[in-house]
Amino acid sequence: MRQQPDKWTAALPAMGAPSHLATLMLAQKTQMKLVMAPYKGTAPALVDIAGGHSQILLDSIIALLPMAKSGKVRPLVTTSAKRSALAPDVPTAIESGLPGMVYASWYGVWAPKDTPKDRIQWLHQAINDTVADLIKNGAFTTIGVDGVTESLDQFSKFIASDMAQSAELLKTAGFKPE
């Protein structure tokens, strides 16, 4: 990739989505000028990767792993901070020589802005308790998810940090939502 940095097409399953942001981060960290090819979802992007029409696809491991296990595509790296239990032989981007290349999609639970604080606290506790049980029982491991429990303040700070990073990646790339 470094020998021919201008000859790579990245398949983008959804503009502005985590896969797009991770691809922008990869381009930034490697100083590559990737051609960005938008697709309508992961499935058509993955088909074009397998067919050699695009060369790079960053998306969730759970979506990409079946085709990788069948040998139709080759996993190169994960963008998580540590190797995935689903593909322990696949190195992280950091292990492969890309310092700071950590990007993971995440899920959160949202409520309307006028939800009473006591209801927010109750929901927060119930959700954290459930996530803790799922972590303990190994339910997330089978789908490649690292469950997280944290305070409302920690989650707010995480969101602010993630939004700032995402906005900077999109701004640097000159991305304009349609």
Give the pLDDT means over successive 10-residue stretches in the chain (178 positions).
79 94 93 91 95 94 92 94 93 95 92 96 96 94 89 95 94 84
CATH 2.120.10.30 fits 9-105, yes or no: no
In the chain, where the domains are located? 9-105, 106-178
Partnered with residue 92 across adjacent β-strands are: 78
Residue 143: its pLDDT value, please? 86
Q: Cα 137–141–147 angle (5° rounding)? A: 80
Residue 25: its pLDDT value, please? 95
Residue 52: its pLDDT value, please? 92
Sign of the CA dihedral with 132 first, then 160, 100, and 22 last: positive
**Distance from C-alpha of 177 to C-alpha of 106, rounded to nearest angstrom:** 21
Closest CA to 50 of 70, 71, 73: 73
Q: Do 72 and 64 touch, CB atoms closer than 8 A? A: no
